């Protein structure tokens, strides 16, 4: 039976995060190690922003990348939504802002991250349910 996708079902729960005072090299390593492109930025237990692989690429031409901290490159006012926000609202806002991720909170605490990749996976599932393929699965 066809169902409306929810943010809770589509997001990546309990994402990896990085401290605001961490080295940029540590953020890059964490992204590479876990194959993610966005990291929530925290100051202690408080969510303060987001850093993306694109934000880090700006520094790769810097003479001394080791001198940079996450606080030097992160986005301090990210798009943050509550867990019960309708998925279509999140998708529309991400498209309007032309951003690749939304941080998801529950009662003010980080609960997940919803990225463009998560949107693609959710849409794939929706299409598979709405229009089942009559033949074999062609995905590699």
**Domain boundaries, given as residue ranges, for the chain:** 7-129
Q: Which residues on adjacent β-strands are paired with residue 115?
A: 101
- Distance, in Å, from the CA atom of 14 to the CA atom of 8, rounded to the nearest integer, reads 11
> Is it true that domain 7-129 has CATH number 3.50.50.60?
no
Cα→Cα distances 47→7, 42, 66, 73, 108, Å? 19, 5, 24, 15, 9
The CA angle 94-98-104, to the nearest 5 degrees, is 30
Predicted confidence pLDDT, tens digits, the chain (140 residues)? 778 899 999 999 999 999 999 999 999 999 999 999 999 999 999 999 999 999 888 777 666 777 899 999 999 999 999 999 999 999 999 999 999 999 999 999 999 999 999 999 999 999 999 998 776 766 66
Cα→Cα distances 9→38, 118, 123, Å? 19, 10, 12
Q: Which residues on adjacent β-strands are paired with residue 104?
A: 81, 112
pTM: 0.90
């Amino acid at each position: 039976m066809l169902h409306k996708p929810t943010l809770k079902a589509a997001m990546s729960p309990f994402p990896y995060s990085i401290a605001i005072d961490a080295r940029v090299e540590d953020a890059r390593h964490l992204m590479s190690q876990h194959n993610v492109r966005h990291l929530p930025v925290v100051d202690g237990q408080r969510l303060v922003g987001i850093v993306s692989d694109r934000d880090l690429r700006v520094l790769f031409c810097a003479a001394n990348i080791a001198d940079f901290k996450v606080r030097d490159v992160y986005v301090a006012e990210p798009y943050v939504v509550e867990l019960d926000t309708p998925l279509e609202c999140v998708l529309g806002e991400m498209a309007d802002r032309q951003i690749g991720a939304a941080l998801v909170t529950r009662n003010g605490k980080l609960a997940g991250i919803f990225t463009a990749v998560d949107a693609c996976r959710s849409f794939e599932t929706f299409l598979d349910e709405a229009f089942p393929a009559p033949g074999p699965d062609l995905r590699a």
